[in-house]
Amino acid sequence: MLSGTEADIINCVARLKETTKGQIRRQVGFSLDYIGFLCRYLVRKGYLRFVKGHYSLSKEGIKSLLSQEEPKIDRELLKEIAGGVAKEISDELKKTVKSIKIPVKNIKEKKEIGRQEPVKIKTDFEFPVEDESLILESNINKIGTNLEKEKSNIEKSVKLFKKIQNGRKKK
């Protein structure tokens, strides 16, 4: 069973045919990281394919989604896609329509009303920050800082965090 957001991503990819993570994020919401995480999950589950930075519905995905009772999926849209293809190809191919990649280029994007995404700033202004503290006279270094120590217990967290991040990168 797909979650609401996963279903939204499937519907979004179906509408846009081939789309980037950023485009999905603009349609569905949430952070880019989280959308990337879900997309990779959907690729792993076989619903989506990921080629050259673009996500599209996989033929297995369409086949599987049409055969499932998946309430959150826009079945009408999927049927429309399947129907359009079916007209273009022969009856023989129609029988195997579930196992081929279905073009979705004629499907118009459904615009969500009332949601305006904030503009994302992509450029960066890097500048050297001078050490203004050099003009200060102080005895802080002479006296030192407050020092506390505790037995380290972060190894497990570091390992797990790395594992999760590496897993995401591999996918």
The amino acid at residue 113 is I
Binding of other proteins by 44 (CB under 8 A): no
Distance CA 6, CA 70 (A): 11
- From 52, 120, 156, 170, residue interacting with other proteins (rule: CB under 8 A): 156
- From 93, 99, 165, 171, residue interacting with other proteins (rule: CB under 8 A): 165
The amino acid at residue 9 is I
Q: Which of 46, 41, 37, 39 is nearest to 19 (CA)?
A: 39
- From 87, 114, 137, 170, residue interacting with other proteins (rule: CB under 8 A): 137
Q: Residue 160 corresponds to which tokens in the numbers above?
A: 């797990």
Binding of other proteins by 149 (CB under 8 A): yes
Q: Which of 18, 136, 9 is nearest to 70 (CA)?
A: 9
CB of 136 vs other proteins, minimal distance in Å: 5
Sign (positive/negative) of CA torsion 13, 19, 22, 27? negative
- Binding to other proteins (CB under 8 A) within 67-126 occurs at 125-126
H/E/C letters for each residue in 60-102? Answer: HHHHHHHHCCCCCCCHHHHHHHHHHHHHHCCHHHHHCHHHCCC
- From 22, 89, 95, 160, residue interacting with other proteins (rule: CB under 8 A): 160
Q: How many residues at the interface with other proteins, by CB under 8 A? A: 46
- From 18, 30, 54, 64, residue interacting with other proteins (rule: CB under 8 A): 30
User: CA dist 151 to 14, 21, 148, 154, 155, Å?
Assistant: 52, 41, 10, 9, 11
CB of 46 vs other proteins, minimal distance in Å: 18
Q: Which region, judged by CB under 8 A, interacts with other proteins, from 12-20, 45-53, 77-85, 159-167?
A: 159-167
What are the residues binding other proteins (CB under 8 A)? 3-6, 8, 29-31, 33-34, 37-38, 125-133, 135-141, 143, 145-152, 154, 156-158, 160-162, 164-165
